[in-house]
């Protein structure tokens, strides 16, 4: 695990990293976690889970509130990313899509799929969103609150809905640059 001394945290996150999992956080990381530090509704703790052989990398100047990041393979979050309250990011299906595997006892996990998730620099993910396995969210893109994302989002675009779909180009990133 790698941390920098200049992170700011409010509340206590839950961090579960397997012995051979890798977890790193860049400089100027900020988080809000738990009922006393999250005033935007449905306050939960931040959960970071990194499975055996998995890798979670969080860049510099990243801000999150009550998020869940569950990594069985690889989750990469770039620099200057903001992730809204109660967002979940999963790089796995958790269960096999094959009913025979899923319904066995004990459940067979060898059919569970996992694919890397990448959140590029400058992205903003609105609260209560779900980002699923294999997704790349492009540079300076915005995901509207409450969205479910299972397709890649190109750079400089705004997407939203369930399933998330294109709304418009993100002109804000060029106006304020």
* Main-chain phi, psi angles of 176, to 5 degrees: -95, 0
User: Would you tell me which CATH number, out of the four given (1.10.1740.10, 2.40.30.170, 2.60.420.10, 2.160.10.10), belongs to the domain 8-175?
Assistant: 2.160.10.10
pLDDT of residue 150: 97
pLDDT of residue 86: 93
* Main-chain phi, psi angles of 172, to 5 degrees: -60, -35
Catalytic residues: 95
Residue of 132, 28, 142 whose CA lies nearest to 80: 28
Write out the two tokens for 63.
């801000």
* Main-chain phi, psi angles of 100, to 5 degrees: -65, -40
CB under 8 Å to 39, separation ≥6 — which residues? none
Query: pLDDT 10s digit of each residue in the chain, 177 long?
Result: 677 768 788 888 999 999 899 999 999 999 988 877 776 667 788 999 999 999 999 999 999 999 999 999 999 999 999 999 999 999 999 998 888 888 888 888 788 899 999 999 999 999 999 999 999 999 999 999 999 999 999 999 999 999 999 999 987 755 554
DSSP letter, residue 30: E
pLDDT of residue 38: 72
pLDDT of residue 106: 87
Q: Are 113 and 133 in contact (CB under 8 A)?
A: yes
Three-state SS at 37: coil
Write out the two tokens for 101.
């595997």
């Amino acid at each position: 695990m790698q941390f920098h001394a200049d992170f700011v945290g409010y509340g206590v996150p839950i961090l579960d990293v397997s012995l051979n999992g890798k977890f790193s956080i860049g400089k100027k990381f900020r988080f809000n976690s738990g009922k006393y530090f999250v005033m935007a509704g449905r306050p939960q703790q931040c959960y970071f889970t990194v499975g055996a052989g998995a890798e979670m990398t969080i860049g510099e100047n990243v801000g999150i509130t009550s998020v869940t990041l569950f990594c069985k393979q690889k989750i990469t979050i770039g620099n200057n990313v903001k992730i809204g309250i109660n967002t979940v990011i999963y790089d796995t299906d958790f269960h096999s899509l094959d009913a025979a595997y899923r319904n066995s006892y004990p459940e067979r996990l060898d059919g569970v799929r996992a694919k890397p998730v990448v959140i590029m620099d400058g992205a903003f993910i609105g609260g209560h969103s779900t980002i699923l396995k294999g997704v790349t969210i492009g540079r300076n893109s915005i995901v509207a609150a409450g969205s479910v994302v299972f397709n890649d989002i190109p750079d400089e675009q705004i997407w939203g809905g369930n399933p998330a779909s294109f709304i418009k180009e993100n002109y804000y990133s060029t106006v304020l640059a």
